[in-house]
A and B are shown apart, each in its own frame.
Chain A
């Protein structure tokens, strides 16, 4: 007696792992969503702090800016702002790219360029703050 032709056994010739791949993670699937919220909550006080600081130093010369940023508290908050801001930014831009850039190759390439750019900008910003904080 032969198997009916329309059962799963008869039509699917991929391993269970193969069938599951690409459907999303079972453990860390909420990671993106959660990091987006976490960084947004951290950015609430950090953004207020930065805007107030920027207003207080509007039109200031380089010496004054360096003096402000090189303070230990300012440098710490600046680094926290940079970390949260760029993480939040790259998570957000990722969703925008995934929504609007079609075609697998083009989408992956755009994502990689964006993520690399975000990482380089974050490193440049952090190095700048550290240089001011340490070298004065």
Chain B
């Protein structure tokens, strides 16, 4: 160690790897760790799902209303943009679902250790990806 101040810079990532951190706010090189990225994504997904309720309610109301209204709603949902929106909302739903269970686990007072929080975050991402793929594949096959 050439400079004793380097000892102050040594820290650990949320996955336990050693990193050298800047001593004071250094926003040009600051990289958000995985755990806060997942936290903000949870909120982003939630807001996205709130927007998705518009499509859900439109679909329900159209089904209750008339053949013409339903044909219009189904037409939009079957368009390429509709497919993209549904795929996005499926991903948002499963991510919010999996990370939400992670939050409930924390609410029960468990999994607060850095390594556990990192592992459960990776698990939430993996599970969300698998569930999204399964849902979309099943939806395409079922049509």
Contacts and interface: CB of A to CB of B under 8 A. Distances in A.
Interface stretch (A17-25, A61-69, A105-113): A61-69
A54 B139 contact: yes
A131 B64 CA distance: 6
Interface string A80-100: 000001100100110010000
B64 A132 contact: yes
Contacts, number: 78
A47 B52 CA distance: 14
B104 A40 contact: yes
Contacts of A128: 57, 60-61, 63-65
B98 to A, nearest CB: 10
| Contact residues on A (Cβ < 8 Å of other chain), bracket | 20 to 34
B63 A37 contact: no
Interface in A23-47: 37, 40-41, 44, 47
B43 to A, nearest CB: 6
Contacts of B135: 51, 55
A106 to B, nearest CB: 18
B80 to A, nearest CB: 15
A76 B90 CA distance: 23
A56 interface: yes
Nearest to A85: B53
Contacts of B112: none
A96 B60 CA distance: 27
B133 interface: no
Nearest to B143: A59
A62 B75 CA distance: 12
A69 B50 contact: no
A44 B101 contact: yes
A22 to B, nearest CB: 26
A55 B47 CA distance: 23
B37 to A, nearest CB: 17
Instruction: In the A-B complex, list the 10 residue pairs whose CB atoms are closest, starting with the nearest.
Output: A128-B64, A59-B143, A62-B70, A128-B60, A131-B64, A58-B139, A128-B61, A58-B142, A55-B138, A125-B57
Interface of B: 43, 46-47, 49-50, 53-54, 56-57, 60-61, 63-65, 67, 70-71, 74, 78, 90, 93, 97, 100-101, 103-104, 107, 135, 138-140, 142-143
